[in-house]
Structure 1
Amino acid sequence: MIKFEHVSKVYTDGFKAVDSVSFEVPEGEFLVLIGPSGSGKSTTMKMINRMIPHTNGTISIDGKDITKLNPSELRRNIGYVIQQIGLFPHYTIEKNIAIVPELKGWDKEKIKDRVKELLIMVDLDPEVYGSRYPKELSGGQQQRVGVARALASDPRVLLMDEPFGALDPITRDQLQDQLITLQRKLKKTIVFVTHDMDEALKLGDRIAIMKDGNLLQIDTPEKILQEPASNFVEEFIGKDRIIQNPELMPVVSVMTTRVVTSLLNLSPEKALLMMRQQKITSLIIENDLDDSFIGLISAYELIKKMNSIQSIEEILIVPEHTLTITATAKDAIMMMPSVKYGVIPVLNEAKKVVGIVTRGTLLTALSSQWTELEGINE
């Protein structure tokens, strides 16, 4: 458990970056720190591993005051992922991941097994990527390596400072989903800094909203959406996100009408180019005769199988579940757990797509009944 007790950071010129902040992060929780520039969110996170020393108050991990611990040893037991990734360019991917275990004195065979395990965990083939150098990887692949390196010594605490902020929307969405999957499996204590409210709502078990060095509200996404603590919080999260009763909300209020469509004759290369240009993760496929819905293409599957398919029809997904325009937000909430890739097409009477519902668009439909809807996040 991480505990802040009246923690402040005051610089020599008198500027107070963090002002008497107190909160706890229970073991296994994913806490997101968010706020405008200069709010103190990154400073707060960096004080946990003493990258920035705090001025007043106490920060403890598992009951131990971090100022009583050796800084180097403290950092070796805390995973750290940053936006710039920070991979060593002259080291192979295997060597980059192995750095902390080597510093901790692990034997070579154990390190080798751990590196292989982690590369598989972040969906990178060890045989293909292990011997490569960072410059030979895409930005998204490098960020996966950064996550793997942070997990290398199996730390209980993971700090992530806007790790996906520099990535394109498709890659960012993929890595967010992968991080959610990893967290369900590993149950690390994660403190994650972002400036993106959609990212915070998607990832966090709880969200801490900061402004001018003060902690304004720390609550679950549902609680923050339902009961923002101040006018600033309400404005910051966006009034359009404030929760209503999902049973009374028409599905059209939680779907996006920004739907990009194509026919099946589009080549895989052109499909991927279109998705990147339009910044989407799902491409809707229509019948060339009447524009009715046929299925969808996932950017994740397309990227994964780009070199092994001749036609996008080979990865066409025909959803078992769709919604009509008369459905409600609650219908979408109940359906979402069984929907592959988290996309529900909304069809009109002519079976044409008028919008799509995603996990992101559903955030505004969450209510106090959330916990009664079993498995929504599974």
Structure 2
Amino acid sequence: MLKFENVSKVYGDGFQAVKSVNFEIQKGEFLVLIGPSGSGKTTTMKMINRMEPHTSGTISIDGKDNNSYNASELRRSIGYVIQQIGLFPHYTIEKNIAIVPQLKGWNSKRIKARVNELLDLVGLDPKIYATRYPKELSGGQQQRVGIARALASNPDIILMDEPFSALDPITRDQLQGELISLHKKLNKTIVFVTHDMDEALKMGDRIAIMKDGKLLQLDTPEKLLHEPAHGFVEEFIGKHRIIQNPELMPVTDIMSETVVTSLPQRSPEKALTLIRQRKITSLIVVDDENKLLGIVSAYDLIKKLDDIQTIDEIMLSDELFLLNSATAKDAIIMMDESPYGMIPVVDAQKKIVGLVTRGSLLSAMSSQWTETEEGK
């Protein structure tokens, strides 16, 4: 999709901002460029759409040299989101999103439909927000509009230059999650610049770490954490970041794989016997294919013992569960909503693979903390 071959950028005063970098970005990949100030990360990204022309080497898009494109057409074909958002204050939200489609010659009916579609996609009701002006929106809402505008002409590539760095932590975390969901849904190729390592580890399929214009390492978050290829990379990431950040701890690492389950037709008497035998407080209810149906507690069984024939009559529905792709952070957040102090973990077919309890969650986090302290 995107390929850098011996690409360098030298400014007129002789300063070499980017030094012979080589890497490829696959179609649909979310690549994060990160490094300290002056590392060359933003310059590298801007060379893709020629906002910064490269001095030497080749940047190709789908096998075609980006220097062979008309510069204006190239930029219109690549989405671009910046920290300052850059909405035109005298344009309505609808007009701001419609800019590139208009330049591409789309008719008004098609543009209107696209604007409404994108506002819905980024969580803004077009009936409410299309006719508003940027000053009437919060910073998070404006950034959503910025993302919608970048998607307006349905580009294959989107460049994002520290888009969330000016937002408050809560809004930033929310938009990060929404962008991850959008990426999975739309399968766009995203090149994302940030100075925040936590953000990089959360967002990127792969992360490119730069320093002084050089690309030091480009790998998955997991490989960067466990196999840093350079002393600066290890220092920049932080040796204990995976321990300190529950966003990076898979829920499969903290769940118990021993789950006591029952079919929904079991009588309350037999269910209570099973609970006592296994020394547990609740049963996970599943169907014949081991797919999650709900949870029933010993307390509710005792309370309703004479009123029900089968446990499915009083089981709590399956609304609370985690996919096996979730993280410890997801479990921490959801645990507050769990009435029984436990959360089933399921696979993509909703089959039970494990169980997270308050005890197992606290034990895992405590163990990680102990390891961190001992390693100091």
Give the residue type in structure 1 aligned to 2:207: I
Point out the structure with max Rg over C-alpha.
2
How far off is 1:241 after superposition?
Answer: 2.5
Give the residue type in structure 1 aligned to 2:214: N
| CA–CA distance in structure 2, aligned partners of residues 143 and 346 of structure 1 | 37
Indicate if the aligned counterparts of 1:30 and 1:191 stay in contact, CA closer than 8 A: yes
- In the superposition, the TM-score normalised over structure 2's length comes to 0.68
Cα separation, partners in 2 of 1:337 and 1:166, compared to 1, 3 Å: farther
Cα separation, partners in 2 of 1:216 and 1:322, compared to 1, 3 Å: farther
What 5-or-longer segments of structure 2 have no aligned partner? Answer: 255-334, 350-354
Matching residue of 1:327:
none
Matching residue of 2:220:
220
Cα deviation per residue 1:296-323 (whole Å; 9 max; x = unaligned)?
A: xxxxxxxxxxxxxxxxxxxx96237857
Matching residue of 1:103:
103
| CA–CA distance in structure 2, aligned partners of residues 196 and 173 of structure 1 | 12
| CA–CA distance in structure 2, aligned partners of residues 123 and 320 of structure 1 | 30
| CA–CA distance in structure 2, aligned partners of residues 355 and 96 of structure 1 | 50
| CA–CA distance in structure 1, aligned partners of residues 209 and 347 of structure 2 | 28
4+ long deviations beyond 4 Å: 320-323, 334-338, 353-357
| CA–CA distance in structure 2, aligned partners of residues 321 and 212 of structure 1 | 53
Cα deviation per residue 1:38-82 (whole Å; 9 max; x = unaligned)?
A: 000000000000001100100010111111110000000000000
Matching residue of 1:132:
132
Matching residue of 1:231:
231
Matching residue of 1:156:
156
Cα separation, partners in 2 of 1:42 and 1:356, compared to 1, 3 Å: farther
What is the aligned residue count?
A: 280
1:318 aligns with 2:326: no
Give the residue type in structure 1 aligned to 2:160: M
User: 1:181 aligns to what SS in structure 2?
Assistant: helix
| CA–CA distance in structure 2, aligned partners of residues 157 and 233 of structure 1 | 27
Matching residue of 1:57:
57
How far off is 1:185 after superposition?
Answer: 0.7
| CA–CA distance in structure 2, aligned partners of residues 336 and 14 of structure 1 | 55
Cα deviation per residue 1:84-120 (whole Å; 9 max; x = unaligned)?
A: 0000000000000000000000011110000000000
The 5 A counterparts of 1:58-73 are: 58-73=58-73
| CA–CA distance in structure 2, aligned partners of residues 207 and 348 of structure 1 | 34
How far off is 1:250 after superposition?
Answer: 9.0
How far off is 1:232 after superposition?
Answer: 0.6
Give the residue type in structure 2 aligned to 1:14: G
User: 2:23 aligns to what SS in structure 1?
Assistant: strand
Matching residue of 1:123:
123
Cα separation, partners in 2 of 1:242 and 1:141, compared to 1, 3 Å: closer
Matching residue of 2:18:
18
| CA–CA distance in structure 1, aligned partners of residues 340 and 41 of structure 2 | 40
Give the residue type in structure 2 aligned to 1:232: F
Give the residue type in structure 2 aligned to 1:17: A
1:29 aligns with 2:29: yes
Indicate if the aligned counterparts of 1:226 and 1:242 stay in contact, CA closer than 8 A: no
Give the residue type in structure 2 aligned to 1:130: A
Indicate if the aligned counterparts of 1:321 and 1:335 stay in contact, CA closer than 8 A: no
How far off is 1:347 after superposition?
Answer: 3.7
User: 2:240 aligns to what SS in structure 1?
Assistant: helix
User: 1:60 aligns to what SS in structure 2?
Assistant: strand
User: 1:105 aligns to what SS in structure 2?
Assistant: coil
How far off is 1:230 after superposition?
Answer: 1.1
The 5 A counterparts of 1:287-306 are: none
Cα deviation per residue 1:258-287 (whole Å; 9 max; x = unaligned)?
A: xxxxxxxxxxxxxxxxxxxxxxxxxxxxxx
Cα separation, partners in 2 of 1:354 and 1:223, compared to 1, 3 Å: closer
What 5-or-longer segments of structure 1 have no aligned partner? Answer: 252-315, 324-330, 339-343, 366-378
Cα separation, partners in 2 of 1:64 and 1:345, compared to 1, 3 Å: same
Cα separation, partners in 2 of 1:250 and 1:208, compared to 1, 3 Å: closer
The 5 A counterparts of 1:253-292 are: none
| CA–CA distance in structure 1, aligned partners of residues 55 and 363 of structure 2 | 51
Indicate if the aligned counterparts of 1:6 and 1:20 stay in contact, CA closer than 8 A: yes
| CA–CA distance in structure 2, aligned partners of residues 99 and 250 of structure 1 | 47
| CA–CA distance in structure 2, aligned partners of residues 146 and 188 of structure 1 | 16
Matching residue of 2:83:
83
Matching residue of 2:210:
210
Matching residue of 1:194:
194
Cα deviation per residue 1:236-256 (whole Å; 9 max; x = unaligned)?
A: 000112689x89x996xxxxx
| CA–CA distance in structure 2, aligned partners of residues 320 and 28 of structure 1 | 39
Give the residue type in structure 2 aligned to 1:21: V
Cα separation, partners in 2 of 1:319 and 1:49, compared to 1, 3 Å: same
Give the residue type in structure 2 aligned to 1:34: I
Indicate if the aligned counterparts of 1:346 and 1:356 stay in contact, CA closer than 8 A: no
Give the residue type in structure 1 aligned to 2:45: M
